[in-house]
Amino acid sequence: MTETPNPNIVDTDSLTGEMHPIRRVVLALGSNLGERLASLQGAVDALADTPDFFVTGVSPVYETDPVDAPEGSGPYLNAVLLADTTLPAARLMERALAVEDAFERERSEVRNAPRTLDVDLIVVGDRRSNEDFLRLPHPRAHERAFVLQPWHDLEPDAVFPDRGPIADLLGATDSTGVRKREDIALEVE
């Protein structure tokens, strides 16, 4: 006898759509053009307003010397945001780009040109990707004190996939150009 799917058994996935696991997300925010703090705060607000995306932590703000940036680039404000989400990583990337656009991010041909807002996905659970549109974990973040320091403030025991404890990575990184701004802070609604 040929087995056929029982039409009386409801496939819950066909009702609810694909099921997605909850993933812990680390995002890095940066700005070195325009109203830097307002852009970072706007990014936090916009991300916190994203359905199925729950902000769990926002780091202190750091003033940082530009790294690998064109001559004459100004200092950055940098921060890290932690969240839990069921959104697929590609949707998160689209959302990050849309939030950048909302804050007048111009996409220049010049590598690392000054920008009003940069939203980078650093880690999305154990998701790995190696496409131009989305590389995960972020391929350069493990050597960037402007990412590691604020992340370390939130999660001193965090481990960067394949790279090791962020405390060790931070210890191996030059963080002289990374200064905490005690006078300003980002707020989560």
Ligand X SMILES: Nc1nc2c(c(=O)[nH]1)N=C(CO)CN2
Residues that bind ligand ATP (CB under 6 A): 93, 112, 118, 120-121, 133-136, 138, 140
Residue 84 or 97: the one with the smaller Cβ distance to ligand X is 97
The identity of residue 183, as a single letter, is D
Length of the chain, in residues:
189
In the chain, how many H helices and how many E strands?
Answer: 5, 10
Partner touching 133 among ligand ATP, ligand X, none, CB below 5 to 8 Å by kind: ligand ATP
Query: Residue 28 Cβ, how far from ligand X at the closest point, in Å?
Result: 7
Angle between helices 89-102 and 36-48 (to 10 degrees): 140
The neighbour count for residue 31, using CB atoms within 10 Å, is 26
List of residues contacting ligand X (CB under 6 A): 30, 64-69, 76, 78, 112, 118, 146
Query: Residue 188 Cβ, how far from ligand X at the closest point, in Å?
Result: 20
Residue 83 or 118: the one with the smaller Cβ distance to ligand X is 118
Query: Residue 51 Cβ, how far from ligand X at the closest point, in Å?
Result: 27
Distance CA 122, CA 30 (A): 13
